[in-house]
Structure 1
Amino acid sequence: MAPLGTTGLDIYPLCLGGNVFGWTADREQSFAVLDAFAAAGGNLIDTADAYSAWAPGNSGGESETILGEWMAARGNRDTIHIATKVAKLPARPGLSAANIHAAVDDSLRRLRTDHLDIYYAHHDDQTVPLAETLGAFDELVRAGKVRHLGASQYTAPRLGEALAISDREGLARYEVVQPQYNLMDRTVYEGDLADLCVREKLAVLPYYGLAMGFLTGKYRPGTTDPTDASPRAAGARRYLDARGLQVLSTLDEVAAIHSVPVATVALAWLRAQPAIAAPIASARTPHQLSALLASADLTLTPTEVTRLNAASQ
């Protein structure tokens, strides 16, 4: 376990992504993955009220509902940290104070709990003043419905402005940041945002840690399966260029040294970056989860990190 920034929470060095629950993993499959994650010592699960409104037949809240049912069935709420988000559910869009207050109660009901360990702004809603959003979040913290606040998909200038408002007005501040970041997508986080997170002691939990599955090594030249119905297959294959092949080749070499899957190395690389507390990754089966869990025990050498940095430039 390791501290999650300034939150006071201790977390396993892998955060389980809950976006697949109720989408590509049904209730039984989701329970199996969650059981395996908890058995390995995992204790932070990331979801959102919008998961998975995009899937045919879904309206959102499916992931939260499954997580709530699982925690109730296992009686383990006290040992599990739950992070969820507000702003992207079609029925509850944006970060107005009214929407935040309504959305949090919906999430608490679906999750069958009286508090959230981390509550994220799912994206930066620039139609609402930051002070209004932060004021509403502060009220939730003071009411005990939320313990810590997070910001997802914020730029460095907007995140910096939000932190300054919280400090000036005495409001609860963002303590956790969730950007897109992986070996193939480095520009969003590296630079100003990473510098801000380090300076402000913010814990970073990057999403798409495996670049939509590309960094599992599944997608390679000559291996395209026309029957592959994975919803993320098209997104993963867009990385199949010279740079992507160079990254896969280096991952293969480092993985062979440690006798681990390439996905394990890709997630371990993330943990070696500034301010990263744990990568977020999802799995549809316990078998897929095993490679992700292995990353928690893998520490890359400085030379290996440098090689991967160079391959992914």
Structure 2
Amino acid sequence: MEYRRLGRSGCAVSAFALGTLTFGAATDKQEAFAQLDAFVEAGGNLVDTADVYVDGTSEMIIGQWFADRPNDVTDRVVLATKGRFATNRRDPNGVGSSRRHLDRALTASLRRLGLETIDLYQVHAWDPLTPLEETLSFLDDAIRAGKIRYYGLSNFTGWQVQKAVDLASSLGLARPVTLQPQYNLLSREIEWEIVPTCEHNGLGLLPWSPLASGILTGRYQRDIEPVPGQRLFQKENARLFGDRMNEQRTWEVIHVLNAVAERHDATVSQVALAWVVAQPAVTSVILGARTLEQLKENLEASALLLNAEEEEQLAAASRPSIDYPYGGMALRQRRRKIQGGWHHDS
């Protein structure tokens, strides 16, 4: 397993992280324990959860695993969780990134996990109602109080990331170290603004849904409806990713994935994961698996290296349509001739 810095921090994390969205739902406690054991045994150390995953059950299961395993095992884990979404829908203050809500959410997460400190606490999404100064000052206080070690952002746009970094710097507060966005061969739009922003500020990317809710596993066929047991059969996943099944680009990407996978004697999933983990600014790719078998298969992607030609084939097939202000005329406007060559922001 390869290890990388958690953004600009000195903390080392595995290039693949274990996502626990399914713990307590599609993945029961016994299966979750087996996944955590196998992940750590394989050299993985970054485990990602959130307070709203199965209404806190995911955190509870992880906390039970921590309590059940010896310290020499659990001490290896770098634990990440999140707060921001509604934890009490009857309480108008039970949602958002206000000091009040995040304080209560963090306290509840620590209780469910049975821990005194969380390694990485992430703001799950932008809150348009709470002043960012309030959120950042709370996170800085939480670090000083020893409740969290680092903090990160999730699902922020490029300008929101930059505003958070600039505001933290100007106020003398701790800066975020990571951003957790959706990123895969079918969702590459973060490359236009968000990736350059994170690279400029030293934030590490923790991509979620690297397999586009299973579309990039090669298990779906064109013009055939998903069946029970497949992720896209579920209403929420179908709402988020179903339209991708009707795009010509999706099937072109899968065609190239199949060809590359055959050359490496690998699975389509492993190739798709290897592509994401090789992209600039990526710190750790979050693997979400319902079963131990799926997790073990995906972890084998850590040994798969794509050559430059294969990377370009996948990049060409998956390249999204792009125009102003990121391509076309605007890209030419940003070019500058330097010593006989051209430099441009792409």
Note whether the superposition's TM-score is higher than 0.5: yes
CA contact (8 A) 1:219 1:236 kept: no
Q: Pick closer, same or farther for the CA change 1:285–1:228 going to 2, 3 Å.
A: closer
1:82-131 deviations in Å (ceiling 9; x for gaps): 10000113323110011111111100111111111100000000100000
3-state SS of the aligned residue for 1:25?
A: coil
3-state SS of the aligned residue for 2:75?
A: helix
Q: CA deviation at 1:225?
A: 5.1
Paired-residue identity, %: 38
Q: Pick closer, same or farther for the CA change 1:233–1:89 going to 2, 3 Å.
A: closer
CA contact (8 A) 2:179 2:204 kept: yes
1:144 pairs with 2:141: no
1:117-196 to structure 2, matched below 5 A, reads 117-187=119-189, 189-196=190-197
Q: CA deviation at 1:222?
A: 6.0
1:77 pairs with 2:74: yes
Partner of 1:258: 264
Partner of 2:26: 24
Partner of 1:64: 59
1:20-59 to structure 2, matched below 5 A, reads 20-52=22-54
1:217-236 to structure 2, matched below 5 A, reads 217-221=218-222, 224=225, 226-228=227-229, 230=231, 231=234, 234=238, 235-236=240-241
Alpha-carbon distance between aligned partners in 2 of 1:102 and 1:233, rounded to the nearest angstrom? 29
CA contact (8 A) 1:33 1:284 kept: no
Q: CA deviation at 1:3?
A: 1.9
Partner of 2:284: 278
RMSD between aligned alpha carbons?
1.5
Partner of 2:325: none
Alpha-carbon distance between aligned partners in 1 of 2:51 and 2:163, rounded to the nearest angstrom? 26
Aligned residues: 305
3-state SS of the aligned residue for 2:177?
A: strand
> Higher mean Cα deviation, 267-276 or 127-136?
267-276
CA contact (8 A) 1:151 1:178 kept: yes
3-state SS of the aligned residue for 1:149?
A: strand
TM-score, reference length from structure 1? 0.94
Q: Pick closer, same or farther for the CA change 1:229–1:205 going to 2, 3 Å.
A: closer
Pair member with larger Rg: 2
In the alignment, which of 236, 244, 255 is matched to residue 239 of structure 1? 244
CA contact (8 A) 1:82 1:116 kept: yes
1:299 pairs with 2:315: no
CA contact (8 A) 1:272 1:305 kept: no
The residue type paired with residue 243 of structure 2 is: R
The residue type paired with residue 261 of structure 1 is: T
CA contact (8 A) 2:220 2:226 kept: no
Q: CA deviation at 1:224?
A: 3.9
Alpha-carbon distance between aligned partners in 1 of 2:264 and 2:230, rounded to the nearest angstrom? 31
Structure 1 runs, 4 residues or longer, greater than 6 Å off: none
CA contact (8 A) 2:47 2:80 kept: yes
CA contact (8 A) 1:49 1:89 kept: no
Q: CA deviation at 1:226?
A: 3.6
Partner of 1:55: none
The residue type paired with residue 307 of structure 2 is: T
3-state SS of the aligned residue for 2:174?
A: coil
The residue type paired with residue 201 of structure 1 is: G
3-state SS of the aligned residue for 2:284?
A: coil
3-state SS of the aligned residue for 1:246?
A: helix
Alpha-carbon distance between aligned partners in 2 of 1:226 and 1:284, rounded to the nearest angstrom? 16
> Higher mean Cα deviation, 149-158 or 221-230?
221-230
Partner of 2:87: 90
The residue type paired with residue 219 of structure 1 is: Y
3-state SS of the aligned residue for 2:149?
A: strand
Partner of 2:334: none
Alpha-carbon distance between aligned partners in 1 of 2:312 and 2:109, rounded to the nearest angstrom? 42
Q: CA deviation at 1:221?
A: 2.3
Alpha-carbon distance between aligned partners in 2 of 1:224 and 1:199, rounded to the nearest angstrom? 42
CA contact (8 A) 1:214 1:237 kept: no
Gaps of 5+ in 1: 53-59
Partner of 2:101: 99
Partner of 1:111: 113
Gaps of 5+ in 2: 89-93, 320-346
> Higher mean Cα deviation, 202-211 or 238-247?
238-247
Q: Pick closer, same or farther for the CA change 1:304–1:82 going to 2, 3 Å.
A: same
3-state SS of the aligned residue for 1:88?
A: coil
Q: CA deviation at 1:228?
A: 3.5
1:258-280 deviations in Å (ceiling 9; x for gaps): 11111111111111211011211
Partner of 2:206: 205
CA contact (8 A) 2:87 2:105 kept: no
1:203-235 deviations in Å (ceiling 9; x for gaps): 100111110111111111265454446436635
